[in-house]
Homo-oligomer: A and B are copies of this chain.
Amino acid sequence: MKTLQAKRSFASDNNAGVHPKILDAIVRANAGHVVAYGDDIYTASALKKFRDELGEDTEVYFVFSGTGANVLGLKAATEPYHAIMCADTAHINVDECGAPERFTGCKLVTVPTDDGKLKPALLKGLLHGIGVEHHVQPRVISISQSTEMGTVYTVEEIKELADFAHNNNLLLHVDGARIANAAVSLNKSLRAITRDAGVDVLSFGGAKNGMMYGEAVVFFKPELANGFKFTRKQGSHLASKMRFISAQFDALLTGNLWKKNAAHANRMAKILSKELASIPQIKITQKVEANGVFAIIPKNFVPVLQKQYFFYVWNPEVSEVRLMTSFDTTEEDIEKFVKLVRRIVK
């Protein structure tokens, strides 16, 4: 197989490849033998960096995929008769093929939102039937940060949700597949928007921020991690050659690479949205706070664009599309894309 000239894409931050520094870390980790399953110096180093970033008594477990991280983290926080509350646009609700229900046994109780963001006011009505055995028992509020709609919870909004959760004997789970984009957007540390804001369990994303594979399940309440190593193994997410996930996270958490990657992606989204907003036929539909741009593009133009660029139609009824930027999106990519849009809409 020879290197192929790949189409540029705004489909997903998953369509990008691996950041060179992360790839380099992988290559360097490929030296000799180490004990499998995580008892190695790469893993020790990565875990230390996580704790430096997020707090000393943070429990961190690496898994293969984002769905794996969500499902296993949620399992650690629930009994099968619990309810997990989330926005109806949540990845755990629409994009994981029912994995959360399948592995936790729980019901997902969903709330419609305009911007993908939950608020206590939207959740209050779901706290009925507590103690009544006919009904699933509310236990976890799960939010995505940044959201699937490209929006970002402020620290205050997270705190409000965390307070609401803890006052009602609930836990706050964050699907942080794009947690880095949120931190950058808020200009806060990772710790400030998670532990310090009251988050209990976090899926910390790697693949959408320049890694090849690997996500982390992060517990801010260590007792939630009791037995989690067994849950991870039984959930078939214990990597044998763990060092290669660890080396990636180590690189991501070195020299603020996580921040640089996310900042770049966010900046590209800003530019893209600004350019698109300047085209009269196009309407930006969500605040652009992270690395996603939602825009209504007149229906007949979409297939023409898709011939040259991968991207998804989010809502076909109104011809709303989703455009994602990533650590490797270039200003040139955007220029060319916008130029094409301008030409087409004329």
Contacts and interface: CB of A to CB of B under 8 A. Distances in A.
A82 to B, nearest CB: 8
Interface in A26-48: 26-37, 41-42, 45
Interface string A100-128: 01110111100000000000000000000
A107 B105 contact: no
A193 interface: no
Contacts of A241: 14, 17-18, 207, 212-213
A227 interface: yes
Contacts of A208: 240
Contacts of A108: 107
Nearest to A70: B236
B98 A66 contact: no
Interface stretch (A5-13, A161-169, A278-286): A5-13
Contacts of A156: none
Interface stretch (A131-139, A145-153, A261-269): A131-139
A237 interface: yes
Interface residues of A, number: 85
A310 interface: yes
Contacts of A11: 33, 35-36
A106 B101 CA distance: 7
Contact of A98 (B15, B37, B106): B106
A84 to B, nearest CB: 10
Contacts of A298: none
A103 B241 CA distance: 23
A235 interface: yes
A229 interface: yes
Interface stretch (A89-97, A180-188, A287-295): A89-97
Q: Sorted from nearest, which 8 A-B pairs have the closest CB atoms?
A: A6-B32, A81-B230, A14-B36, A9-B33, A64-B64, A14-B240, A97-B233, A68-B236
Interface of A: 1-9, 11-12, 14-18, 23, 25-37, 41-42, 45, 64-68, 71, 79-83, 94-99, 101-103, 105-108, 133-137, 207-208, 212-213, 227, 229-241, 244, 247, 250, 310, 328
Given A18-B244, A23-B26, A64-B239, 19 more contacts: A7-B32, A9-B33, A14-B36, A14-B37, A15-B34, A17-B31, A27-B27, A33-B310, A67-B236, A79-B231, A80-B231, A97-B230, A98-B105, A98-B136, A99-B235, A102-B105, A105-B234, A207-B241, A213-B244
20 contacts: A1-B29, A1-B45, A1-B250, A4-B34, A5-B32, A8-B33, A23-B26, A26-B26, A65-B236, A79-B227, A79-B230, A81-B227, A82-B98, A95-B135, A97-B233, A98-B105, A99-B236, A105-B234, A133-B238, A213-B213
